[in-house]
């Protein structure tokens, strides 16, 4: 989906600014941009559904204007087309009004929207709301969105699926489930996280031939994670390399009943190229872990004190996989915090961290990898508050802990600094919705840190590798994919 898409992502306000600069400073008439947008959508429709009749739903603003153009182009190409209007023509102004007049001249049939309408055939074009949506979708728009979704017909969204917030990727009310979304000028950040990917379908980008210099005047607040750009962080190994060159990762966790988590994190660290990997876990897990993976140095620890010598030997710590929430777990985490080593904190490590009221840690050498539930606990919020604005949540995590943070979920977000854009991972697939995936990720991140990669870059590269390994593993199917299925593709990936 995303290989041909640009890296920068923008808020709705920023795209409006790009639009304004193109019109005012570069002298491109707004109607010209609108015609290019309509043409881009029309091209997608006729290449995918040649000859299909069109029903174009138009709202009031410039998004509707794009829709009127699509309808006019269809009529000029002698395709059956009908416009369903949700805002009367007298409410239109500027370029949208010109586009409406263009559709009228082209002889398009225009009907007002009514409740009991049926949609039988062809392709539906959603030009209802665009990026200007704030808050809830009002009637009759909500009714129209439900009608379109229930029709079962292919849906093409103009710029953004109506009902989706282009800044947060959330939807308060009903939202169009598009098969294809054609987005213009700048890519909207909400298309890539939260509910965005589910509703966007296949994403097509068109810059409407806006000159490059326009983009230099608006700094994006986020960007797509670009794995190719990060791969040079894994250089070819010297012929005289030895295991000491690639760091020593210690994985701490595996309370009774959770031995698998720590095993998966440790194996992922090995497969990502750490020189040595040790494990500190409950004695019950030692023999199983060794028989599964003899390359690991597996140690039984029954107290924080017994962890001490292991911490001294390690160059990087991964704490949290299967750690549990017992007094044993708390002791181990306390020792890890006191050791002041570069540390990846995941899973129960994060939950214990959230439960601590007083202790101030020097977290600057950490990497945190919470999912929305763990994020909510760390920030003292509800999960729905976190998900309502994932970009704000990940920035708040960064401000609180001043270290690279990852907010997992569809369109995982990485924040490494208040100066840099938030990175959005657009890879991965629903096969990753199974136990152990996060443990593998924490092991990958630990191994990259151990190989001397800067924490922010290590986290970004880990997330990119993890998603790409999962996408390669998914060729055998998403359903039933397990976390250890990522280890084979992962090893091939880290040896480009």
Give the gyration radius of the chain's Cα atoms: 26
Tell me the CB-side half-sphere exposure of residue 237, using CA atoms within 13 A.
15
Under a CB-based contact definition with an 8 Å cutoff, are residues 439 and 272 in contact? Answer: no
Under a CB-based contact definition with an 8 Å cutoff, are residues 395 and 418 in contact? Answer: yes
The CA–CA distances, whole Å, from 176 to 62, 124, 432 equal: 18, 11, 25
Kindly list the strands in the beta sheet with 202-206, ordered across the sheet, starting from the edge strand earlier in the chain.
109-112, 81-85, 54-58, 123-127, 155-158, 180-184, 202-206
Q: What are 229's two structure tokens?
A: 């750009």
Can you say which residues are annotated as belonging to the binding site for AMP? 408-412, 438
Under a CB-based contact definition with an 8 Å cutoff, are residues 325 and 348 in contact? Answer: yes
Residues 6+ apart with CB under 8 A from 225: 414, 423, 424, 425, 426, 427, 460, 463, 464
Q: What is the largest CA-CA distance in the chain?
A: 83
Q: Measured in whole angstroms, how far is the alpha carbon of residue 234 from the centre of its chain?
A: 23
d(CA 79, CA 107): 12
DSSP tag of 283: G
Can you say which residues are annotated as belonging to the binding site for (6S)-NADPHX? 130-136, 159, 261, 322, 371, 439
Tell me the CB-side half-sphere exposure of residue 336, using CA atoms within 13 A.
31
> Of 186, 163, 158, 203, nearest to 41 (Cα)?
158
Q: How many CB atoms lie within 10 A of CB 413?
A: 26
Can you say which residues are annotated as belonging to the binding site for K(+)? 63, 126, 162
d(CA 126, CA 92): 17
> Of 489, 461, 462, 484, nearest to 473 (Cα)?
489
3-class SS of residue 330: helix
> Of 50, 367, 384, nearest to 349 (Cα)?
367
Cis ω for the linkage preceding 140 (within 30 of 0) = yes
Can you say which residues are annotated as belonging to the binding site? 63, 126, 130-136, 159, 162, 261, 322, 371, 408-412, 438-439
Residue found under tokens 């009608």: 147
Q: What contacts 24+ positions apart, CB below 8 Å, involve 396-402?
A: 397/368, 397/370, 401/363, 401/366, 401/368, 402/363, 402/364
């Amino acid at each position: 989906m995303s290989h041909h898409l640009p890296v920068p992502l923008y808020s709705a306000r920023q795209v409006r600014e790009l639009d304004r600069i193109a019109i005012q400073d570069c002298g491109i008439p707004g109607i010209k941009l609108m015609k290019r947008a309509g043409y881009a959508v029309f091209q997608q429709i006729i290449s995918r559904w040649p000859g299909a009749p069109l029903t174009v739903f138009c709202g009031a603003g410039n998004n509707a204007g794009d829709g009127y153009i699509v309808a006019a182009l269809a009529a000029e190409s002698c395709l059956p087309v009908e416009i369903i209007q949700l805002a009367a023509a007298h409410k239109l102004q500027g370029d949208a009004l010109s586009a409406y007049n263009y559709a009228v001249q082209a002889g398009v049939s225009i009907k007002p929207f009514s409740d009991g309408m049926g949609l039988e055939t062809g392709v539906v074009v959603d030009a209802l709301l665009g990026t200007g949506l704030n808050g809830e979708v009002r009637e009759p728009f909500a009714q129209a969105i439900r009608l379109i979704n229930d029709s079962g017909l292919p849906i093409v969204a103009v710029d953004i699926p109506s009902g989706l917030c282009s800044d947060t990727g959330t939807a308060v009310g009903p939202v169009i489930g598009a098969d294809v979304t054609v987005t213009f000028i700048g890519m909207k950040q909400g298309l890539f996280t939260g509910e965005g990917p589910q509703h966007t379908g296949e994403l097509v980008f068109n810059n409407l031939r806006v000159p490059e210099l326009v983009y230099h005047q608006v700094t994006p607040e986020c960007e797509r994670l670009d794995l190719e750009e990060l791969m040079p962080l894994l250089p070819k190994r010297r012929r005289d390399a030895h295991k000491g060159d690639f760091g020593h990762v210690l994985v701490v966790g595996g309370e009774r009943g959770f031995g698998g988590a720590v095993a998966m994190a440790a194996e992922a660290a090995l497969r990502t190229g750490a020189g040595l990997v040790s494990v500190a876990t409950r004695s019950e897990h030692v023999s199983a872990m060794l028989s599964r993976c003899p390359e690991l140095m597996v140690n039984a620890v029954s107290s924080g004190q017994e962890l001490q010598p292991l911490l001294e030997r390690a160059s990087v710590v991964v704490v949290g996989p299967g750690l549990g929430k017992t007094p044993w777990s708390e002791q181990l985490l306390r020792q890890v915090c006191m050791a002041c080593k570069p540390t990846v904190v995941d899973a129960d490590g994060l939950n214990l961290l959230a439960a601590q009221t007083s202790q101030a840690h020097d977290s600057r050498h950490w990497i945190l990898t919470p999912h929305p539930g763990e994020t909510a606990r760390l920030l003292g919020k509800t999960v729905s508050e976190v998900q309502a604005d994932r970009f704000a949540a990940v920035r708040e995590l960064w401000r609180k802990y001043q270290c690279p943070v990852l907010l997992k979920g569809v369109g995982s977000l990485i924040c490494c600094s208040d100066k840099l854009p938030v990175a959005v991972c657009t890879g991965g697939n629903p096969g990753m919705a199974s136990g152990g995936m996060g443990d593998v990720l924490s092991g990958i991140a630990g191994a990259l840190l151990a190989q001397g990669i800067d924490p922010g870059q290590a986290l970004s590269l880990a997330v990119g590798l993890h998603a790409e390994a999962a996408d390669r593993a998914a060729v055998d199917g998403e359903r039933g994919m397990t976390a250890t299925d990522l280890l084979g593709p992962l090893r091939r990936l880290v040896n480009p």
